[in-house]
Amino acid sequence: MVGRGNKPTALAATPGLAPQPTVTFSDDNSKVTAVLPTGESVEVLLYGATVISWKDDQGDEKLWLSEGAKLDGSKAVRGGIPLVFPVFGTAPDHAQTGKLPQHGFARTSRWEFLGKSTSESAEGKEAADLSVKLDFGLSTGSVDEKTKELWAYAFNLIYSVTLNRTSLTTALVVTNDDDKPFECQVLLHTYFKIKDITAVEVTGLEGASYIDKVDNASVKTESSANLTITGETDRVYTPTGGPQAPVTIKENGKTRYSVVRDNLNDVVVWNPWIEKAKSMGDFAPKEGYKNMICVEAGSVRGWQTLEPGDAFEGAQTITLG
């Protein structure tokens, strides 16, 4: 075969798309799981739109989930990140929410998965830019008749869960679709997984006014720069630095989690300790209080009033230490 003097150069291979996040449903369509190409993952139950798992690229779980948690829709999930709306706790003297069960109905309603969105291709970018956002919806038309009787307002909720390599953002948008105003409270009831509660300190609360629910709801001021947990703790703080000032969870002096809030002025710190843990049927193991702490971003010391057509948005971003 005679060689040709001017061979065509080889065609450049078509560049493949960079690995993308994957989103899958469980076989029974009860749960959505998102995984980044680098291994980080998040799992969200459609029941309550409850985040029940958040793992880093090594597969280490960041959220505490009770071994006795009900994941079948029979009751609110004990652990993960339950959504509190439109009332925090109970408010028997509040005209609009007084008949609702504890923490309202968002955490015990089945949400609709609205879709996913991902960050742009990581090609030519750092892997740290990778992210996936999952959107969930709940509205007047999708709650049961009993809920409509207890809370007779037209509303729309959009909940977004965004997974990044080193952070998780959860954001709730509340819209008043009614022709009359309503009042509401919002809380992201996050259960953080830790190794030893006696080695934990919470910072960012010094000087904050708080309601001590373990002490007859008395109002106090936090004097410690490093809050430690030594017994049953149930406090509603309003940090002095505002939502953008981080509240951190340290263990053995090292930052494990840092929480920055958007439009959520309050932070609830909760640990049931020994006796309260024993009294809760779905709290397991009973010694699990040693391995969890709730630091919950919310707007709960007062009420958000939404006029017809108005919307309220609140969010938290949790960054790994």
* Residues 5-56: tens digit of each pLDDT: 554 454 554 456 778 999 999 999 999 999 999 999 999 999 999 999 999 9
Q: Report how far apart, in Å, the C-alpha atoms of 161 and of each of 10, 34, 53 are.
A: 45, 10, 12
- Condensed to tens digits (0 to 9), the pLDDT of residues 237-280 reads 999 999 999 999 999 999 999 999 999 999 999 999 999 999 99
94 is an active site residue: no
pLDDT at 122: 45
Q: For the chain, give the mean pLDDT.
A: 94
The answer to whether the predicted template modeling score (pTM) of the entire model surpasses 0.75 is: yes
Is there a contact between 167 and 194 (Cβ–Cβ < 8 Å)?
A: no
Residue 107 marked ligand-binding: yes
Average pLDDT over residues 68-84: 97
Which listed residue (189, 251, 307, 313) is catalytic?
A: 189
Average pLDDT over residues 216-243: 97
Q: Which domains does the chain have, with CATH numbers?
A: 22-320 (2.70.98.10)
pLDDT at 1: 45
pLDDT at 18: 78
The Cα–Cα gap between 187 and 288 comes to 22
pLDDT at 2: 47
- Condensed to tens digits (0 to 9), the pLDDT of residues 98-134 reads 999 999 999 999 999 999 999 754 454 566 679 999 9
Residue 110 marked ligand-binding: no
Residue percentage of the chain with pLDDT more than 70: 92
189 is an active site residue: yes
In a 10 Å sphere around its CB, with 0-12 CB exposed, 13-18 middle and 19+ buried, how is residue 115 labelled? exposed
Residue 256 marked ligand-binding: no
